[in-house]
Structure 1
Amino acid sequence: MPAAPKRGRRAVLAATGLVAVLALTATACDGSADSASDKPDATTSQATDGGGKAEIPADLAGKLKEHGIDVDQWKDGGWKNWDRDKWLSDAKDFVNPVIAGLWKPERMKSAKEANKTVTTKDASAGRGVTDPDPAPVEAQAEKTPYHENAAPVGKVFFDSPDGPAVCSGTVIKDVNHPGKSNLVWTAGHCVHAGGDGGWYRNIMFVPAYNDLGKSEAELGNANPAEIAPYGNWWADWASTSNQWIQGGSETGGDGAAYDYSVLHVKPEQGAKSLEETVGAALDVDFSAPSAAEAAKMGAWGYPAAPPYNGLKMFKCVDVPGRFSLSPSLPTMYRIGCDMTGGSSGGGWFRVRDGKSVLVSNTSIGPADNTWLAGPQLGREAEALYQNMSKTYGGR
């Protein structure tokens, strides 16, 4: 969603109900979210060896060696080599060793938005089952501090061949490890390039990024805890759909309806789980409700393309409609929203049984940034989630 939006009429909807529930969810745990002493210092790491360099676990080192990649060179900057023959693409080839100190605040601020765009011409083709375009909705700034209002939401940073990039993500519950989740939900295109590439590198999650919503000028004097109040969390494993790996493209492609990912993360510092540290996590709704059943959905994220700058959290709430790129692909959800690139991967929430649950994530939108579309999460998404939980959740 790279183009600056055309300013026109906005239908601003009050996020009553959904926002209130999300705020309650974000502060409903043991209160650690409000205690500064419980928040790790984002500047340090326990994943180091005696020489102060990040360790690479033996299994990851083995995977690198299988592809002719020298482990020490990788740590010292070899990851910057995006030689096509060595750009790991298969799901089994994901490697993401911790490089302590790589994601410093300035590098985070330099990260560019991850773009996924459907041109207006493509969107108006009306393929499959598609409702009329929704009225544009102007994104509203989330209240600060974020850890009191939307604690599960954060930013996903990664390196691509084009440089540092950023998406959004959400802390989700792990049904097989209750209260101790290390799982993050985001978009597939935030971790893998799709059919034309492979896994991105140095993937990291920062919950409640820029907790106080400070401006760029104010962040010049901010301490690391204000940038990353719960520290930096590296993905030691990532999963996305085979449909995205095989059919995803720079404009979404045939993989757009399956554009989701689950990360298993570990902290640079500390021993507590992500859920324990943040004090919040959301359930995932895999029932794939129809747009009519969902009533209202809200999308949260950190839009980074103009007129936004990626430093602050925003949200849009709207009545969802149906959107389809092809009769052969599952129908996606669509809402009015002017959030731009960088909001990709951000969670979509709906109220179910009185509490907010994650029901989708931002995937694609038009060049004029008037709406967002996200995949329905059904059996395929649940199977991916369960495999991540059972295979990696207890680590």
Structure 2
Amino acid sequence: MTAVALASVLALTATACGDDGSDGKPSAVSSRDGKITIPDDLKQRLKEHGIDIDKWKHGAWKNWNRDDWLREANDFVNPIIKGLWDSDRMRDADDPDRGVDDSDISGDQGVTDPTPQPVQARAVTPPYHTSAATSGKLLFDAPGGTMVCSATVVTDPAHPGKSNLVWTAGHCVHAGKKGGWYRNLAFVPSYNDQGRSAAELEGASRSEIAPYGVWWADAAKTSQQWISKGGETGGDGASYDFAVIHVTPEQGSGGKSLEETVGGALPVNFDAPAVSQVRSITASGYPAAAPYDGQRLYQCQDKPSRLSIEQSDPTMYRIGCTMTGGASGGGWVETGADGKPALVSNTSIGPVRSGWLAGPRLGEVAKSVYESVSKQFAGR
């Protein structure tokens, strides 16, 4: 209980104010020489709720710096800050660059297929809710600033027809081996549903940009492989670069789940089919790096090939596609033998100059991540 309370306080203040209160407002938690200090009045308020931070682990928190604490905390902490994601902040979010140089891909198992020809991304016809209701944007704050990825509403076995689960890339929720969990994660389904240009969105209301609301992550999980190996660039950890988040509406949804609100959710296929068995994959996302501006939804459709990053890791799917950063985390969908669409991967990496995208093949590790988030909210 104390651990969660302290982590919540730190997560809130990481966004709310400067480390030293330099914004002119009193800082709830300040940091001097990288160490955490907590004002006496805040300690007293916590004590009134039965939480004595000084007694917890004999006050060991005094020797930790804030970034280490947030990285080492086992629980993902993401308190809702109402109104934080206003229309300007959503529109101006940048992409977390995951561009790789082809020469960085050095762990080939001898099974990597030739580089696919680029497939020009096509703009999805608005309103997006009509043809791509499960797609949306994932917004978050990272050390480098306000960032954006893409994400997909997926089914929840614990709540059939009433899912609040969203699928994205691991690097869209956690920085990997040199960082921790990102802050203020929020999902916006059917972002900019009418497909307006950046110029047309100037001065647009929040409801125009987010017609189905802003949904905050109250749980997130990625693979331990991504946390241990994931890097800012290159292919480290890419074969396990996936994540599942559970969301809750910022303003309330009248009791409706995310799936009920948007009108659908995609099942996830964890029995990753071999490339030879897949006729076509469609990848969706909001590319934000040039020549795109992150405001519109795009898709690429191509027959996948194989990409091997490390000999010890599973091969990845790779398709030709001109989408750029910002499309990361977007769902890859295949029509199965039953004729129904299912999510089979997500955008993880692509080359510096675009032209192709690669995503992990989903197997037992991905299934365990998915099921653990589902079970966390089963019965609620």
TM range (shorter): 0.7 to 0.9
Hey, what does 1:280 align to over in structure 2?
Answer: 264
Q: What secondary structure does 2:358 align onto?
A: strand
Which sits farther off after the overlay, 93-102 or 235-244? Answer: 93-102
**Alignment identity in percent?**
55
Q: How many Å apart are 1:241 and its aligned residue?
A: 0.1
Q: What secondary structure does 1:148 align onto?
A: helix
Distance 1:355 1:79, change over 3 A: farther
1:228 matched to 2:210? The reply is: yes
Hey, what does 1:134 align to over in structure 2?
Answer: 116
Hey, what does 1:97 align to over in structure 2?
Answer: 79
Q: For 1:279 and 1:316, locate their aligned partners in 2 and report how far apart those are by CA, in whole Å.
A: 23
Q: 1:321 aligns with which of 305, 308, 312?
A: 305
Hey, what does 2:145 align to over in structure 1?
Answer: 163
Q: 1:356 aligns with which of 341, 352, 371?
A: 341
**Matched letter for residue 85 of structure 1:** N
Q: How many Å apart are 1:64 and its aligned residue?
A: 4.4
1:178 matched to 2:160? The reply is: yes
Distance 1:252 1:183, change over 3 A: farther
CA contact (8 A) 1:123 1:366 kept: no
Q: 1:376 aligns with which of 343, 358, 361?
A: 361
Q: How many Å apart are 1:285 and its aligned residue?
A: 0.6
Distance 1:252 1:391, change over 3 A: farther
Which sits farther off after the overlay, 81-90 or 315-324? Answer: 81-90
Q: What secondary structure does 1:132 align onto?
A: coil
Which sits farther off after the overlay, 89-98 or 356-365? Answer: 89-98
In the TM superposition, what are the counterparts of 1:112-123 in structure 2 within 5 Å?
Answer: 112-123=94-105
Q: For 2:164 and 2:107, locate their aligned partners in 1 and report how far apart those are by CA, in whole Å.
A: 40
CA contact (8 A) 1:316 1:337 kept: yes
Distance 1:256 1:75, change over 3 A: closer
Distance 1:200 1:393, change over 3 A: farther
Which sits farther off after the overlay, 101-110 or 123-132? Answer: 123-132
1:65 matched to 2:6? The reply is: yes
Larger Rg, first or second structure (1 or 2) = 2
In the TM superposition, what are the counterparts of 1:214-293 in structure 2 within 5 Å?
Answer: 214-270=196-252, 271-293=255-277
CA contact (8 A) 2:99 2:349 kept: yes
Q: What secondary structure does 2:136 align onto?
A: strand
Alignment deviations for residues 27-80 of structure 1 (CA, whole Å, 9 cap, x no partner): xxxxxxxxxxxxxxxxxxxxxxxxxxxxxxxx6x8524169x458745743699
Q: How many Å apart are 1:94 and its aligned residue?
A: 1.3
Which structure 2 segments of 5+ residues have no match? Answer: 21-29, 35-63
The count of residues paired between Structure 1 and Structure 2 equals: 335
Distance 1:127 1:233, change over 3 A: same
Which structure 1 segments of 5+ residues have no match? Answer: 1-58
Hey, what does 1:150 align to over in structure 2?
Answer: 132
TM-score with structure 2 setting the length: 0.83
CA contact (8 A) 2:12 2:79 kept: no
Q: For 2:12 and 2:234, locate their aligned partners in 1 and report how far apart those are by CA, in whole Å.
A: 35
1:199 matched to 2:199? The reply is: no
CA contact (8 A) 2:104 2:234 kept: no
Hey, what does 1:85 align to over in structure 2?
Answer: 65
Q: 2:350 aligns with which of 365, 376, 384?
A: 365
CA contact (8 A) 1:64 1:71 kept: no
Q: For 2:299 and 2:185, locate their aligned partners in 1 and report how far apart those are by CA, in whole Å.
A: 24
Q: How many Å apart are 1:217 and its aligned residue?
A: 1.4
Q: How many Å apart are 1:158 and its aligned residue?
A: 0.3
Q: What secondary structure does 2:74 align onto?
A: helix
Q: What secondary structure does 2:374 align onto?
A: helix
Q: What secondary structure does 1:199 align onto?
A: coil
Q: For 1:70 and 1:139, locate their aligned partners in 2 and report how far apart those are by CA, in whole Å.
A: 41
Distance 1:72 1:379, change over 3 A: closer
Q: For 1:263 and 1:78, locate their aligned partners in 2 and report how far apart those are by CA, in whole Å.
A: 28
Q: For 2:379 and 2:226, locate their aligned partners in 1 and report how far apart those are by CA, in whole Å.
A: 26
Q: What secondary structure does 1:383 align onto?
A: helix
Alignment deviations for residues 303-323 of structure 1 (CA, whole Å, 9 cap, x no partner): 000000000000000000000
Q: What secondary structure does 2:208 align onto?
A: helix
Q: What secondary structure does 1:98 align onto?
A: coil
